[in-house]
Each structure stands twice: as C-alpha cells, then as structure tokens.
Structure 1
Amino acid sequence: MIIGAGEIGYDLASVLSKEKHDVSVLDREKDCLNRVSDTLDVLTVEGNATSVKDLAKAGVSECDILISVTSIDEVNMVAGMIGKRLGAKMVIARIRSNEFSDPNAPLTPSDLGIDVMIHPELSAAHEIVQLLKRSAASDVINLAEDRMQLVGIRLERNSPLIGKTLIDYASSHQDITFRVVAIGRRGLTLIPKGSVRLQAFDQIFVLAKTEDIPKVIETTGKKETELNRVMIAGGSAIGSMIARLLSNDESKNWSIKLIEPDYEVAEELAIELKNAMVLNGNPTDPDLLATEGITDMDAFIAVTEDEESNIISCLMAKHLEVKKTVALVSKPDFIPLAQTIGLDAVINKKVAASNEIHRFVRKGRVISVTELRGIKAEVIELQASPKAKVIDKPLQKLKLPDGCVIGGVLCNGSVEIATGSTVIKANDRVMVFCLPEAIDKITKLFQ
C-alpha cells in the first residue's frame, strides 16, 4: 500500500504495478487518485492517511509493505505508526527532518514503528556531490561497498572510441579491467554484446574497480579535471544540503556560492553555512550570474523548484564554458532530452526515492537496485544462494535471460570485473545490469 499519490507515490505505483505487485494507493485528493486510476493498473482508495478507520478500510492490516510518501513528515509518521499497529509487516516512510536521522535523537524511526526511513532530497544531494568528484561522468553509482563504480560517459564526436567494437575497445586497453554494461543511443537502451560498434553521442555505462575509473575515463578521450569553484542556484532542501556536504568535506577545500531568491531563507543559510557565500537574488538572472563570476566557476548546479529554469540556467552556464552543469529535473520526459541539448548531468529526486524503496520491496536476495537515468536499465546487486542455478559454472556457460549482463562479483571482500571465465560461488554478491522486463527472470536464477 502506498500512501500519497503525489509525484513519488505515482512513480512508485507505476514501477511496482508493472512488476506485478498488488498495489493500492490511498490519498484524500480525488484529482490525484483519478490520475493514478486512469493510467495505472492499481486499486485507489480515497481516505485520510491519519485515520485509523480509513486505513483499516483500505486493508492496511493485510499489506506486506506500507510506503508512506506524502509531502508532510508528520502525516507519514502517524500513518506508519497506525499501519504497524494494524498489522502491516514492513513500514517505509519518507521523513525529511534531520532530527530523526541524528544518531543521538531522542526518538528513532523504530520507536515510531518505522522500519525504513527515506530522504529523497538527501539522496539526490549525495548523488550531485559524487558527480562533482568525477567531473567527466554524467552518472556515478557506487557498488560493492564503494569498491566498484559504474560511470556514465557521453562519447563526443572526437572520441577515439568512435567506430570501434567493444571487443576492439577491450583488447586495446588490456592493462585495465572494465566492462561496458549498457549503452544509451538515441533514446534506445542496449545491453551490449562484444560486436556492437560505438557511435558519436552514445552514452556508455562502464563498470570498473573504483581506483581504475580515472584510467577508464581517459580511454574515452575525456579528461578528469579538478572542480573547486561551485555555484548553486537555489537554497531549497537539496541546494542547502549540497552546500552543507561540500562545506563539511575535509578532503578538499571547496569554494561555494549559493543564490537563493527568498530573503529570509537566504539569511538563515548565510548564518548557518560558514564556508559558503550566500546571495539573495534570482538564480536565473543573467546579469546577477555574470556579476557573481559565473565564468570563473568550475561547476554550476541548478536545484530550484522550477525545472524549466534549472535547464535554462544550466544551458546559459554551459554557453559561458562552465566545465560541469547539473540540473534538478522531475519530469521523466526531460531526462533523455537534457543530455542531447548539452547538459552534463540531470538529477531526479523521484528516482532517488524509488531506488531506495525498491531495495526493500524486491523479494529474494537483492541487496540494492538502482535505476540508470535517461535509459531503461537497472543495476541490481544480488547475492547467490547456495542452491542458485548460476553458481559453480563459468559465465560463458550460463544461459542468462535476454537483456542481462553480469558486470562484477564481490567474493570474500575482493572484487572482480566479470569475464567469460568468472565463476560465481554461493553467497557471492553479483552486479547485474538488465532491462526491466528481465529483472524477475534473473532474480529467480540467484534464489
């Protein structure tokens, strides 16, 4: 059961219903429920999330997982508490207040009957900070306890890889172990075979050990440059979190400018953020950006509530030769478009929330699930059970479902990028890349 038919609730209902879960969505707004029932195969219930009677009537006592993702923390907490008392087996709640995630908090989520607390804005902020640390990548995903990274890289016209097959690519760089696990090409998603030829503007997703990623990026003709000076447009939840994360980063001395249109919010942030310069003004005003030295910036991050403004201000920054631009975008249709019009990376907090929740919804031995932005593929970290069909055979002898590729294996603390001779053992953790329709088939092979 999903409580809250807003953007995140709708997105989750859409994903989970496609995976054949029985989903019901509860909300008090008729218009939101109509949108859900008109487009998705789910049950909708009109009711109040904090009413025992309404939750009981909606059947919360029979649900395996209750996911409360309304825009109000207190509603999510109360709905979670009632749901747990009425018999929901697992409760996931969206809570944005930092007071509950603090280790010394007097009240913990478990005191409220909440099993998993998610914070989409914080997840998105962490993702953006990762992107700033890997300047040439459009996506960075940490896997296998941060020992492997998956990076998305867009191939420019002058890339030395254009026209090469993946076999040519691997054989000309035998000193690095890596694997191309997915390619985004003109709106299509390819889970590639060795004979696939790379083309200009392909978005390639490469898996390698974290320490080898800089070398992998070099092979594509891009250079990792040090980013230091960062301008953030919008002091909303995500903007202020990025500024906090960068200010507290002891490994590097970041120079941060944050522009916030609301005077009171800007004043509060100026008092709180000692290591950042906070300005009050319109972050899409070209004159203000020019006055504040946007041309001297290494990175420009637009995270205002207005996604069209985010895209336009990032394009303006790109035109002024800022090395890296990141825009916060929530409409799914904008995501594949963003890179074709010249943005370096886009972040979607709905996807960040879905990825967090997904991990707990999947049955079996799933450790994590991450959706790749802009292409229709997912990264799943699976653990092989002692009875799994994939163990004790070389990968080249396994019959994997179409649309799947095994990228890497974590065994007894050591990581290995998968090749044809790799053998999976019981309890190994395996990174699998697949199209959504192949997820259930591959998950069964590991059970």
Structure 2
Amino acid sequence: MKIIIIGAGEIGYDLASVLSKEKHDVIVLDREKECLSKASDTLDVLVKEGNATSAKDLADAGVSDADIVIAVTSVDEVNMIASMISKKLGAKMVIARVRNDEFSHRNSPLKATDLGIDVMIHPELSAAHEIAQLLRRSAASDVINLAEDKMQLVGIRLDRNSPLIGKTLIDYASEHSDITFRIVAIARRGLTLMPRGPVRLQTFDQVFILAKTEDIPAIIETTGKNETELNRIMIAGGSAIGSMIARLLCGDQKKNWSIKLIEPDYDTAEELAIELKNAMILHGNPTDPDLLAAEGITDMDAFIAVTDDEESNIISCLMAKHLDVKKTVALVSKPDFIPLSQTIGLDAVVNKKVAASNEIHRYVRSGQVISVTELRGIKAEVIELLVSEKSKVIGKQIQKLKLPEGCIIGGILCNGSVEIATGTTVINANDRVMVFCLPDAIDKVTKLFSNA
C-alpha cells in the first residue's frame, strides 16, 4: 500500500516505523526539518518537507493516488484541513487524529465525513478507556476486550509466591480443568514466547491468558493474585488523558468512584473543578512527595500518573507503590520503558502511541481484519479476523491447519457464542477468530483467513 503520514511527531514517527517494517510504501510529510531528518536517517521511508494545509504540497507528496492518508499532527485544525484537501485530491481512505470529541456527537452540525475523514482516531481517549479498564481489573497489567466483549485477554505477572511457578502449561490446565482458558503468550526476560504445553512457568513471567469474560476472576485467582475493589483513585496530571479518565469515572453509572486529581496549571485546574463536580481537583505539583502525602496518597487504592513527563510518571508511581498503593499505572511513550516498567515494580503502563497504532492498523492490514491490538512489552499482536466464505481454513480442525510459525489461535466467536480454541475445533465461514501472532507471521495469517 501507498501510505502518506502527515506529521512526523511521536505518533507519526511510530506509525511510520511500524508500517515501513511491514513493507508498505510510506511517505512522511512535515514542515520541521529536524523531525524529517530523524525519520529519514532511521526508517525506510520517503520524507517530504511541506505544509500540511497546502494543496500543492499535499499533491506533490502524492495524496491523489494514496491508498491511505493518515493525518496525525499535534493540531486538530491542521489534520482536518489536510484531510479535506487529501480527499478532494483523490485519496482512497483518510484517517485523522482529532482530539476534540464534538465531531463524534450525534447532534454535531459537522460529521467526520463532511471533513473528508473516513476514520477519526483519538489516542488520548483510547488510552483513558484502557486505564479505566485496568482499574476494573485490579490484578491485571493488561486487559483487552475481544469477541464483542465476550472474551478478555489479561496480562498477569507471576510473583515469587505464585502457585504456578515451575508448572508446565499442561499441569496448569489439568489442575484447573473446570475453567476453559489458554495462555497465548509469555514475556520472559525480554523475550516473547508463543508457548506450547511442555513450557514451564517461571518467576516474573508475564503471562497473557485468554478466557471468557465471566471466567476471568477465577483465572486471576489461579495465579495467586487477588482481585480487590479499587474505589479511591488519585490522578497526577489533569490535561488530556488525566481529565478524560476523571470524566469517564465521574460518569460511571455502575460505581461511585472517589477521585482526587492534581494539576499544576492553575487555569486548567480551575476549569476542571467547575466541570467535574464529583471529583476533588487540586492545584499543585503532582510529583511533590509532600503534597501527595498531605493529600492522603497512603489511603488511595490506585495512583494514575499521566503527566507529560514520563520519567516523573514512573518515579511518582514507584513512590506510590512504596507507600502500599494497591495499583499504579504510568503513561509512558518511550518503547524501552515499557518492558522495564514492570521489572522495577509498576503494575501497568499505557502508551498513547500504541493506542493510535492499534486503531489505525486494522485499516491497513490485508484480509477481513476486525481489530488489531499490540501487546505491550512483547513483540506480539492480537488480531480478530472474520473468516471469509472462500477461505482455505473452512471445515478444518485447527490441528490440521498449516499455521505459520509464531501463531496461535486462541478463541472463536460463532453465532454469538464464544469458544476457547483446541486442536479439534473446526473453523466455519463467518466465524470471528482470535489469533495471536509474532510480527513475521501476521501477513501470512491474514491471507490464510481471507479469500483463497
């Protein structure tokens, strides 16, 4: 595919890196020479210096024959104008990052399509939803909903006292035969394993377990973890993601959360205090230990650090963990920090670049891809595929399929009911299949499940 990325900032660079490795023809457009130099020097992409709101510069970049144009500059208005021009010039699909959620409201006078946008993404909102999900599953480091929310994939770190240490996956399954589940991936000392039955679990393994949503609490209990109710939440940072998390929790009809949010900018804090009547908004430095202590961090169930300074996010979460806060979540953007975070004691990390990549990827992948989610800290992805009526896999048992190396079929959604996959499971047309892949196997898998 020919893909043009408008904006070479953090998200644009990350997308260009991923898409170029997948052998797409990627062109990056930006007006900042420094950003373009970084992309040109480190990635296999073509760079163009130009103005995203200039029809001439966009035409010169080749949007007229682009398969996908992705506008991810830091300014909503620039992304919207670039999208309108690109669509007018003939781009087949336009994806734009728009932080303002007004355009997604039903009563909005302007829709995304009026702006030439086929797909509108909001990485900050996606990250906020992810954090809210982590607060509802206190023992998990990762929570991914699949199969219309009927299945969940949870990531769990095995502590020294876990009853699973030293056991094979076969032992684990046989001891808990009353629960249907599958370990689909293991992160171990920087390596990604797509495990088989004889593999033994080790201390500090990060295991990714797929099960029916209603079975997840029982699954978590088998790992030696306890699901505890989190009610009192402290949020460090009130711009973008922090304010969105507060809005989501304040608007939760099923639970009455107790929320404290600390924001260093006075005007922002004042605006949030007026808007969020059910939360306590504090003006101050969210990394100040004295302020955190004075505001009762030791009484909190969870501490969420989402400031723009990721080093401060990590340090403040470590301090909260030292003070026995049950769950800590940090916003990070540097890829190297993600596998490191849990090694040093954090419960979970969230990366808005990964959130953006996950949203965009299903429109780039070949085949009938419903969703693509990157697993944090390991080199694997969860792909939800719709089986084509002409696929080669129809009517065959999974154990008889010639699946590429580094690929596991975890579950199937068929006619509204879900099933954890086994070797004898038969795949039918229009089934939705949950596949776990290493990067090298992704294209082969999507082709296998699409038209023959």
Sort the TM-score into its range (normalised by shorter chain): over 0.9
Paired amino acid for 2:328:
T
1:413 paired to 2:416: yes
Query: What SS does the aligned partner of 1:23 have?
Result: strand
Partner of 1:368: 371
Partner of 1:229: 232
Give a deviation string over 1:340-359, Cα, whole Å, max 9, x none.
Answer: 00000000000000000111
User: 1:236 offset after TM fit, Å?
Assistant: 1.1
1:302 paired to 2:305: yes
How many residue pairs get aligned? The number is 447
User: 1:387 offset after TM fit, Å?
Assistant: 1.8
1:291 paired to 2:294: yes
Partner of 1:247: 250
Partner of 2:388: 385
1:106 paired to 2:109: yes
User: 1:99 offset after TM fit, Å?
Assistant: 1.3
Whether the 8 Å contact between 2:286 and 2:292 is mirrored in structure 1 is: yes
Distance 2:105 2:268 in 1: 23
Residue of 33, 42, 50 corresponding to 2:53 = 50
Superposition misfits of 4+ residues, deviation over 4 angstroms: none
Partner of 2:118: 115
Give a deviation string over 1:49-87, Cα, whole Å, max 9, x none.
Answer: 000111111111010100000000000000000000000
1:265 paired to 2:268: yes
Mapping of 1:181-192 within 5 angstroms?
Answer: 181-192=184-195
Distance 2:105 2:388 in 1: 35
Partner of 2:349: 346
Query: What SS does the aligned partner of 2:154 have?
Result: strand
User: 1:305 offset after TM fit, Å?
Assistant: 0.4
Query: What SS does the aligned partner of 1:100 have?
Result: helix
User: 1:338 offset after TM fit, Å?
Assistant: 0.3
Partner of 1:133: 136
Partner of 1:325: 328
Query: What SS does the aligned partner of 2:47 have?
Result: strand
User: 1:384 offset after TM fit, Å?
Assistant: 1.0
Whether the 8 Å contact between 2:381 and 2:436 is mirrored in structure 1 is: yes
Distance 1:314 1:103 in 2: 38
Distance 1:61 1:367 in 2: 27
Distance 2:437 2:291 in 1: 45
Partner of 1:66: 69
Query: What SS does the aligned partner of 2:408 have?
Result: strand
Distance 1:200 1:322 in 2: 22
User: 1:335 offset after TM fit, Å?
Assistant: 0.5
Distance 1:254 1:88 in 2: 45
Mapping of 1:28-39 within 5 angstroms?
Answer: 28-39=31-42
Distance 2:300 2:327 in 1: 9
User: 1:101 offset after TM fit, Å?
Assistant: 1.5
Q: TM-score, with normalisation over the residues of structure 1?
A: 0.99
1:441 paired to 2:444: yes
Distance 1:175 1:389 in 2: 33
Paired amino acid for 1:97:
N
Q: TM-score, with normalisation over the residues of structure 2?
A: 0.98
Whether the 8 Å contact between 2:366 and 2:447 is mirrored in structure 1 is: no
Paired amino acid for 1:23:
V
User: 1:444 offset after TM fit, Å?
Assistant: 1.1
Query: What SS does the aligned partner of 2:441 have?
Result: helix
Whether the 8 Å contact between 2:366 and 2:443 is mirrored in structure 1 is: no
1:6 paired to 2:6: no
Query: What SS does the aligned partner of 2:101 have?
Result: coil
Residue of 394, 404, 408 corresponding to 2:407 = 404
What's the RMSD between the two structures over aligned residues? Answer: 0.5
Distance 2:139 2:379 in 1: 22
Distance 1:37 1:194 in 2: 44
User: 1:397 offset after TM fit, Å?
Assistant: 1.3
User: 1:371 offset after TM fit, Å?
Assistant: 0.2
Distance 2:235 2:325 in 1: 13
Paired amino acid for 2:12:
G
- Structure 1 residue ranges without an equivalent (≥5): none
Partner of 1:202: 205
User: 1:367 offset after TM fit, Å?
Assistant: 0.5
User: 1:174 offset after TM fit, Å?
Assistant: 0.5
Mapping of 1:159-198 within 5 angstroms?
Answer: 159-198=162-201
Paired amino acid for 1:313:
S
Aligned-pair identity (%): 83
Give a deviation string over 1:301-346, Cα, whole Å, max 9, x none.
Answer: 0000000000000000000000000000000110000000000000
